[in-house]
Structure 1
Amino acid sequence: MSKKAILVISFGTSYNENREETIVPVEKAIAKEYPDREFRRAWTSKMIIAKLKKRDGEHIDYIDEAMDKLVAEGFDDVIVQSTHIMNGTEFDFVYNIVSKYKTQIPVIAIGRPLLTTDDDYDEVVANIANDLLPLAGKGALVLMGHGTEHYANATYSELQLKLFFAGYKDVYVTTVEGFPDFDNTLELMKDKGYKEVTVTPFMIVAGDHANNDMAGDDDDSLKSVLEKEGYKVNCVIKGLGSYPSFQRMFAEHAMKAEQI
């Protein structure tokens, strides 16, 4: 008889309360579709894994640890679902490490990150319009992503264009470490007459980046940068994993996982 598992792999967070509000609901949404599979968890941030171990005494598996356990326990059919935003560095780690186990686990299928296909972009735009845009009232909405040096950083620019062409001219996508950066976004917002701006993370969790780079009081936080330009800033510290619409997307991606 086949022994099946569903392994959900996330970046991770050291904010335990936010984990319960974001990562855990995504995991549950995915696991719900697979009652016949044993649920397992892994994270890709070794730094956060080490921090949790030292601070809380809690161990979260890295990718290879989770896969080694599945091999040792005799699982022969595994679906791996990433909860990452894009097909970037972290997902590369997932794909490359999991692929090494093809000779030890006969059936391995991998579900793609949130933004992979054109349909994904359309669905995310709809989710933003339905779930995030109402947060902004009559002002602008700025979604803050992480950003990366990986070529997948172009994901943010494509999402921005998709939003504009869908008619959402008051929604802006910015990043902490990539393009568009805060200055680029300010340039797009210039002369639009906004008095209020709502900022919220375009990240699965609302952890360190959301609390500090977005909503912190340092001069270079997104909130401070916008306030210097005269905007009244409202911060909504809520990760995408908190919204059922995004939870559902990851569950759908798991159901479309492709065998490697």
Structure 2
Amino acid sequence: MPIQSQRPAAILSVSFGTSYLQSLSAAIGGVEEAFCRAFPGHPLRRAFTSRMILQKLRERDGLAIDNVPQALERLLAEGVTRVAVQPTHFMHGVEYDRMMEQLELYRRRFARVSVGEPLLSAAADYREVARRVAAIFHPQGDTALVLMGHGTSHFADCAYAALGYHFLENGWPNILVATVEGYPTLEELVQNLRRLAVRRVVLTPLMVVSGDHAANDMAGPGPDSWQSRLQAEGYQVSCVLRGMGEYPEIQQLYVDHLRAAMAALDA
């Protein structure tokens, strides 16, 4: 009798999610398309971890997206035995930890489950993200690039300061990192901008997607948005409303992490 070939492993892309459909398609969809190009023949499934976003997409747009347990149950029903899970999360934070807790309940129901690292994990990830962001934006002269991260109460919040340090130490002192809900804060950002003596500031989200935080906290018309606050400080401010997941250079880093997870399935 002929030997049956092993069924291709499935890829489960796990994201926090966004209710901004254009960014969902361009950023999360962009990363997932990069996965498919890198691993043709492997079925890809999508899961979001934010219950609020899943509910909003379902009620507002009629768009049904699985959460992690639902996606895993669907893969089991399809007869998948091996799955590589690749998060689009930025770091080992709250959402990543929750995802890992959910995955643990399913490990024995699959023959093999591997999990890729988030974008910022090893020291090399920080160097590569810094190098690639600098190459994408290359701010010069009297212009500073400000990357607006989300921030978190999780100890992984230190990732933002670590990334900022990599920009400074590698010759890009005019690329700064600050966060909405963590450290460094907007106030600390303003102090650093004053030391740089720049006149122009480019704001862009340090997030996979350009969603609500980018549209409102960063670029909103209200007096408390980062754009308004920095304009009040006398800076000429422009905003780039593109998530990091939209850039092929960043997509490739996620692909590299997925490649390691795929290799682990056969280890």
Mapping for residues 1-260 of structure 1, pairs under 5 Å: 1-3=5-7, 4-134=9-139, 138-257=142-261, 258=264
For residues 182-212 of structure 1, the C-alpha deviation after alignment (integer angstroms, 9 at most, x for no partner) is 0011111124321111100000100111110
- Give me the identity figure in percent: 41
**RMSD of the alignment, in Å?**
1.4
CA distance in 2: counterparts of 1:191 and 1:12, whole angstroms: 36
Give the distance between the partners of 1:30 and 1:127, measured in 2 at CA: 19
Once residues 237 and 58 of structure 1 are traced to their aligned partners in structure 2, the CA distance between those partners, rounded to angstroms, is 24
Q: Give the distance between the partners of 2:208 and 2:88, measured in 1 at CA.
A: 8
Unaligned runs of 5+ in 1: none
C-alpha offsets along residues 133-175 of structure 1, whole Å, 9 cap, x if unaligned? 34x6641110000000000000000001111000111111000
Q: Tell me the secondary structure at the aligned position of residue 176 of structure 2.
A: strand
Shift of 1:76: 0.5
Does structure 2 retain, via aligned residues, the 8 Å contact 1:7–1:78? yes
- Report which stretch shifted further, 11-20 or 144-153: 11-20
Q: Is the 8 A contact 2:46 2:66 kept in 1?
A: yes
Q: Decide whether the 8 Å contact of 1:205 with 1:241 is kept in 2.
A: yes
Q: What's the secondary structure of 1:41's corresponding residue? A: strand
Aligned length: 259
Equivalent position SS for 2:17? coil
2:48 partner letter: W
Aligned equivalents of 1:157, 1:133: Cα separation in 2: 20
Preserved contact between residue 2 and residue 76 of structure 1 (Cα < 8 Å): no
Q: Distance in 1 between matches of 2:216 and 2:253?
A: 28
* Aligned-partner Cα distance in 1 for 2:147–2:191: 15
Greater alpha carbon shift after TM alignment, 23-32 vs 140-149:
23-32
Q: Counterparts of 2:141 and 2:240 in 1: how far apart (Å)?
A: 13
- Residue identity opposite 1:87 in structure 2: H
**Greater Cα shift, 28-37 or 96-105:** 28-37
What TM-score comes out, normalization by structure 2 length?
A: 0.93
Mapped partners of 1:83, 1:133: distance in 2: 24
The separation in 2 between residues aligned to 1:221 and 1:53, in whole angstroms, is 29
Distance 1:77 1:138 in 2: 52
Distance 2:141 2:102 in 1: 44
Structure 2 Cα separation of the partners of residues 188 and 44 of structure 1: 34
Give the Cα–Cα distance (whole angstroms) in 2 for the partners of residues 138 and 30 of structure 1. Answer: 38
1:230-250: CA deviations, max 9, x gaps?
A: 111011111101100001110
Report if aligned partners of 1:52, 1:59 keep a CA contact under 8 Å in 2: yes
Runs of 4+ in 1 over 6 A off after TM superposition: none
Contact residue 142 and residue 198 of structure 1 kept, 8 A: yes
Q: State how far apart, in whole Å, the 1-side matches of 2:134 and 2:124 are.
A: 15
Q: Deviations over 1:57-81 (max 9, x none)?
A: 1100001100111122221110000
